[in-house]
Amino acid sequence: MNWNAWMPPLMIASSLLPGLIIFGLTEERVRLRTVLNLSGALVKLVLVGFVLWGVSQGQQYETRLALLPGLELVLRAGPLSLLFVSLSAVLWLVTTVYAIGYLEHSPHRSRFFGFFSLCVTATVGVALSGNLITFLLFYELLTLATYPLVVHRGTEAARHAGLIYLRYTITGGALLLVATVWLYTLTGTLEFTPQGFLDSLGAEHHTALIIIFTLLIAGFGVKAALVPLHGWLPQAMVAPAPVSALLHAVAVVKAGAFGIVRVVYDVFGVEFAANLGVLAPLAWLAAITIIYGSLRALFQDDLKRRLAFSTISQVSYIVLGTAIAGPVAAIGGVVHLVHQGLMKITLFFCAGNLAETLGIHKISEMNGVGRRMPWTMAAFTIGAFGMIGAPPVAGFVTKWYLGLGALQAGQEWVIIVLAGSSLLNAAYFLPILHRAWFQEPPSTWPKEFDFGRKETAWMLLLPPVITALMALAAGLLATSTFSPLEWAQFIAEHEFSRP
C-alpha cells in the first residue's frame, strides 16, 4: 500500500475518530469537545485540499479492502467524488462552528456532536465510494447516523418525525439493496466506471435493467426528496437548525442526488441509459418535483417549512441536469450540487438565527427584521437571490448551464420549467425580503434574547456570512481555476468523452 492509498481512509477517519472520542466525553468537557470538532474539520479540509491538488496533478488515490469473496470496499478520490467531498468538508467546518454556537446551553451535546461527526463521515464515505456496495454501506450509515439527530430533542413530535424519516429511508435502502444485489448477479461487478459498466449486457437483460434503474432511482429518490417520495423532508424540520442545514445542504438530500448522478453516469452511463429510454421519465420526474416543490413552498408560513419545500425543488435541478443527457446540462447539474449547498445552508443558518435571537419561526413575524439583524438578513438576501437565479449569485450559473444544455440537447420544454420555477422562487422569496427590509418592525419580538450590542452571537453570525460570500464568489468567479464550475466542466469532459 503506497501513501496515496492512505488518503481516502484518512479523510474518513478525520471525522470518524473525533466523533467516536466525543461519544465518550462527559457533557462538561466543552473545550476538549470543541477542539476535537474543529481540529477534525480542519484536518479534513487540509487533506481534501492536498488530494485536490494531487488529482489535478494526475495522482490516483484509491483504497481497497476485501469485503466478500469477489467484492471489495473501494474508496477512490475521483473528480466527481472530490467535488462532493470538498463541499461537505467546507460546509462541515462552518456548520460545526454554527452548531457549537447554536447548542451552547442545550443538553446532550456530546451525543449530538458524536452523531454529527458520524453523519459527515458517512457523507464523505458516500462521496468517495468507488463501487455501488461501498456506496450502499455509507448511504445506510448516513440514515442511521441522522436518525438520532432528527429525534435529538426527545419530544413526542421528534419521535414521530423520526419514525416517518425512517419509514421512507429504510424502505428506500431496501430497494437499493435489492437493485444492487440484482445488478451484481447480472454483471459480477459493481465498480463505478465512467460511461457505465453495462454495455456488455445483451438486449435480453434490458427489461431487468430498466427495473433495476427504477429501483435505484426510487432508493436514492427518497433521500433526494423526488416527488412523490419527499414526504419525510418537511416533517424532519423538528430537528435543531444545524441538523436541518446538514440534512438539506450537506448530507442527506445531497447523498440522494449524488447517488442518482452516480447511477446515471458511472453505473449505466449516459448513452446507455438514454438508449434504454429511462432518462426522459427521470427528467420529467425532476421537472415535476421542481414545480411541485416551489408551488408548495409558496403556501407555507413557517419559514423552515418553506425552505424545506424549496429544497425539494432545488435538488431536482441536479437530477434534471443529469437526466437531460448532454454535456452542458451535466455541468449545470453537477455544479448545482455545490451551489445549492452553499445557498441553502446560508438560508437555514439565517432561519436558525432568527429563531434563536428573536424567537421568529413564521414569515408573518418577520416584519422589519432586516433592521434588527442586518448582517443575517443580508446573508439571507444573497441566498434568496441565488435561489431565484439572479446574477451574479451562484444559482444563476446553474440555471444558465441547465438552460443552455437543454437547448443543445433539443429539449426546449426544460426552459419553460426553469422559467416557471424561477418565477415561483421569486414569488416565495421576494415577499420575505420585502417584509424584512421594508416593513416597520413590531414593538416587541416573539422571544428576544439579549446579545449586547451585537445582533446575535458571533458563532451564529459568522457561518451564514461566510457561506453567503462563498455563494456570491462561486457566481462571480465562476471562470477562475478551482471554482466549482471549472471542476464541474472537468467532470463533464470525463463523463462524456469516449475513450
Partner 1 sequence: MGAVFTEFPWGVILILLPVTGGMLCFLWPQIAKITGLFIVFAVALLVVGLAWQIFDNGVYRHAVGGWGAPLGVDLYADGLSLLMLAITALVGIGISVYSATYFKHEQAVLFWPLWLFLLAALNALFLSADIFNIYVTFELMGLAAVALVALAGSREALGAAMRYLLAALLGSLAYLLGVALLYHGFGTVDIALLAERAEPSPIIWAALGLMGAGLLLKTALFPLHFWLPPAHASAPTPVSALLSALVVKASFYILLRLWLEIFGPLVGGAGVEQLLGLLGAAAILWGSVQALRQTRLKLLIAYSTVAQVGYLFLAFPLVAATGVSAWSAVTYLVLSHALAKAAMFMAAGNLLCFGGHDRIADLDRVVQRLPLTAGAFALAGVSIMGLPPSGGFIGKWLLLEAALMQGRWDLVVVMILGGLLAAGYIFKVLGYAFTQADVSHESKAVPASMEWAALLLAVAAILLGFLAVPVLSLVSIGDPFGIGEVRP
Rounded-to-integer distance, Cα 362 and Cα 306, Å: 10
Which residue's C-alpha cell is 416557471?
A: 420
* Of residues 121-140, those binding partner 1 (CB under 8 A): 136-137, 140
| Count, residues in the chain | 499
Contact 305, 233 (CB under 8 A): no
In sequence order, which ranges of 193-326 are alpha helices (DSSP H)?
206-224, 232-235, 241-245, 252-262, 270-276, 279-298, 303-323
**Using the rule CB under 8 A, which residue among 184, 437, 445, 490 binds partner 1?**
184
C-alpha cell at 113: 456532536
* Of residues 49-108, those binding partner 1 (CB under 8 A): 65-69, 107-108
Q: Is residue 404 a contact point for partner 1 (CB under 8 A)?
A: no
- Select 50 or 182, whichever has its Cβ closest to partner 1: 182
**Using the rule CB under 8 A, which residue among 17, 50, 54, 111 binds partner 1?**
111
Among candidate residues 62, 88, 84, 83, the one with its CA nearest the CA of residue 73: 62
**Closest separation between CB of residue 204 and partner 1, Å?**
14
- Select 32 or 65, whichever has its Cβ closest to partner 1: 65
**Closest separation between CB of residue 21 and partner 1, Å?**
14
Q: Is residue 118 a contact point for partner 1 (CB under 8 A)?
A: no
Total chain residues near partner 1 (CB under 8 A): 37
- Select 69 or 410, whichever has its Cβ closest to partner 1: 69
**Closest separation between CB of residue 174 and partner 1, Å?**
5
- Select 111 or 494, whichever has its Cβ closest to partner 1: 111
| Distance set, CA 461 to CA 179, 221, 285 (Å) | 44, 33, 37
Contact 330, 495 (CB under 8 A): yes
- Select 219 or 403, whichever has its Cβ closest to partner 1: 219
Rounded-to-integer distance, Cα 241 and Cα 264, Å: 32
**End-to-end alpha carbon distance in the chain:** 28
Rounded-to-integer distance, Cα 476 and Cα 499, Å: 34
Other beta carbons less than 10 A from residue 29's beta carbon: 15
Q: Is residue 437 a contact point for partner 1 (CB under 8 A)?
A: no
Q: Is residue 10 a contact point for partner 1 (CB under 8 A)?
A: no
- Select 179 or 424, whichever has its Cβ closest to partner 1: 179
Query: In this structure, what DSSP letter does residue 313 have?
Result: H
Residues that bind partner 1 (CB under 8 A): 23, 65-69, 107-108, 111, 136-137, 140-141, 143-144, 147-148, 151-152, 154-156, 158-159, 162-163, 166, 170-171, 173-174, 177-178, 181-182, 184-185
